[in-house]
Amino acid sequence: MGEAVIFLGPPGAGKGTQAKRLAAERGYRQLSTGDILRSHIARGTELGQKVKPILDRGDLVPDELILELVKEEIAAMPTPRIIFDGFPRTHAQAEALDRLLEELGVELRGVLLVDVPREELIQRLLGRAQAEGRSDDNEETIRKRLAVYAEKTQPLVDYYARTGNLKAIDGLGSMDEVYSRIQSALNHDLH
Ligand code: AMP
């Protein structure tokens, strides 16, 4: 039977870095819908050309498109062991993911919320803009992405508190500190 974990949290919370490390150490595949979209943009695919302006504005890509990408990725795995990073981001995505996991016999082992105060997020994202040159890391887009998170994604915290196994951890501190909190929080949930 496959298993999955969801990393939930605002942009700039450090989810991606932490999810990559946990995936590498525990034999999971990190599935970042943002990375997949950026790879399409970099390769100039039809999908990439379609979604580039959406990412550049800090808006969300339509649910159907995202769900199609996720289905494709999971279908290619014999026994999925996945850490979802940056997905789901809307109520519709969360419900579709529930159905998909059920269909495929994949168990949702836990949902991890990485919590970081808003002011710290803005500072981190502005820093990342300089370091990595991501085209959606300018101040206007950052504010937009945080507003989109508050409106569309934050409600999923309640959704998973009701239906899933939600663990919240403090995302402030060094990468190692945050990682060890994540390990303790998920210790009993991961195989
Ligand atoms: P991320 O790398 O997760 O911060 O995602 C970067 C951008 O990709 C977001 O601002 C959205 O425009 C888009 N994106 C990534 N994942 C999703 C998703 N699950 N639903 C909708 N849009 C997404």
Say whether pLDDT at 134 is over 80.
Answer: no
125 lines ligand 1 (CB under 6 A): no
**Residue range 76-81: mean pLDDT, rounded:** 91
Give residue 65 CA to ligand 1 midpoint distance, Å.
11
pTM of the model: 0.94
For ligand 1, whether the C-beta of 172 sits within 6 Å is no
The DSSP output letter for 141 is H
What gap in Å lies between CA 95 and CA 156, rounded to an integer?
Answer: 10
Is the pLDDT confidence value at 5 over 80?
Answer: yes
Q: What is the pLDDT, as a whole number, of residue 187?
A: 86
pLDDT, residue 164, reads 74
In terms of residues, how long is the chain?
Answer: 191
Report whether residue 145 contacts ligand 1, using a CB cutoff of 6 Å. Answer: yes
Average pLDDT along the chain: 94
Over the stretch 112-131, which tens digit does the pLDDT of each residue have?
Answer: 999 999 889 998 888 887 77
Tokens standing for 151? 């409106």
| Terminal C-alpha separation, the chain | 11
What superfamily does domain 2-186 belong to in CATH? P-loop containing nucleotide triphosphate hydrolases (3.40.50.300)
pLDDT in tens, 27-48: 999 999 999 999 999 999 999 9
Residue 165's pLDDT is 86
What residue spans define the domains of the chain? 2-186
Active-site annotation, residues: 15, 89, 128, 134, 145
